[in-house]
Amino acid sequence: MKDFKDKVVVITGGANGIGLGIAKRAVKEEMKVVIADIDVHALERAEKELKKLGGLVLPVLTDVSKPENVEALAQKTLETFGEVRILCNNAGVGGGGLLWESTLNDWKYVMGVNLWGVIHGIRVFVPIMLNQDNECHIVNTSSMAGHLAEPLSGIYNITKFGVVALSETLLGELKNENTKIKVSVLCPGFVNTNIATNSFRNRPAELRDRDIDQETANKEWLETHPKYKSYFETFYRTLEEGLSPDKAGDIVFEAIKDEAFYIFTDTSFIWKRMVKNRMNGILEAFKQNKPYTRETIEVY
């Protein structure tokens, strides 16, 4: 897709972070923009910001973990604009800690948004795009965590690996069906967003184990796991120094123009080395018929 003017884009998680960055670029491309988000206040702020930029914007309060919400999002989009040409299944939340200490609610929350949200988007919007029979594009947001399973992000990693597999499968199936729908999977490195803060604040009451604030929760966890203090300090510092969401939005649109499948926001040597080491470890295990363990690769 080269020409975006007057076409309709739907962006989940569109009121913050990368989603808002994509929406801003869409406005510059003179698209009709649908932003879906669970945070009503952020949605109102984003709507005002995008309209100041001259955008034609439809905000839709949406919890992507709920299929009926995604179905309502599609219905409102069609009622307002009559079509959808680009779908960005972008809504996502963070989640850290040790796998065996994560509660059932932790699993439900992160899996519901990060993986089921993308599943619902595909289930609802792909049939619409097929019926339109015109040029369309789907961008599913994964992460570098969809290629590298680092410690303390277990549930998040699982969802992001799932989005990569889902996207690869979708790409193959749509090609086999000879459709006009293209697919990309967005795999950001560190982007300067408020994903950690927003994830905690926007967590539904029914999926909270305790009613405490994020600062207290982080402090309590580190008190019982002090050896991970420097790990978390490094993570948050690197996140703050990351790419701007607006730049990430620009990268997404250039990738759509090029019909690129994998979209990486950070192509630095360290990410390449980590992915290469993981792949080499797997290939080496095939060659030598030896078990694949974390000792097979260099861990960053």
pLDDT > 80? residue 146 = yes
Edge to edge, the sheet with strand 8-12 lists 56-61, 32-37, 8-12, 86-89, 136-141, 181-187, 262-264
- Rg of the chain's alpha carbons, rounded to an integer? 19
Quick check: 42 and 66 in contact, CB under 8 A?
no
pLDDT digits (tens, 9 = 90+) for 225-272: 999 999 888 988 999 999 999 999 999 999 999 999 999 999 888 899
Task: Supply the pTM of this predicted model.
Answer: 0.93
Q: Say what percent of the chain tops pLDDT 70.
A: 96
pLDDT > 50? residue 299 = no
Note whether residue 91 is domain-resident: yes
Note whether residue 1 is domain-resident: no
User: In sequence order, which residues have a C-beta less than 8 Å from that of residue 96 and are 6 or more positions away?
Assistant: 152, 153, 156, 232
The per-residue pLDDT for 91 is: 97
Q: Say what percent of the chain tops pLDDT 90.
A: 83
Answer yes or no: do 182 and 226 share one domain. yes
Answer yes or no: do 20 and 167 share one domain. yes
Instruction: Band the pLDDT of 204: cuts 50, 70, 90.
Output: very high
CATH assignment at residue 236: 3.40.50.720
pLDDT > 70? residue 295 = no
Over residues 6-34, the mean pLDDT reads 98
Answer yes or no: do 260 and 276 share one domain. no
CA 106 to chain centre: 18
Alpha-carbon distance values, 213 to 94, 96, 233 (Å): 15, 15, 18
Domain membership of residue 293 as a residue range: 268-300
The number of C-alpha atoms within 13 Å of 7 and in the hemisphere containing its C-beta is 20
Annotation marks residue 292 as catalytic: no
Catalytic residue chosen out of the listed positions 109, 156, 292, 300:
156
Please provide the average confidence, as pLDDT, over all residues in the chain.
Answer: 94
Answer yes or no: do 37 and 91 share one domain. yes
Note whether residue 3 is domain-resident: no
Answer yes or no: do 34 and 90 share one domain. yes
The per-residue pLDDT for 92 is: 97
pLDDT > 80? residue 291 = no
Note whether residue 2 is domain-resident: no
Lowest-confidence pick of 58-62, 135-139, 170-174, 204-208: 204-208
The per-residue pLDDT for 257 is: 98
pLDDT > 60? residue 37 = yes
Over residues 31-45, the mean pLDDT reads 98
pLDDT > 60? residue 297 = no
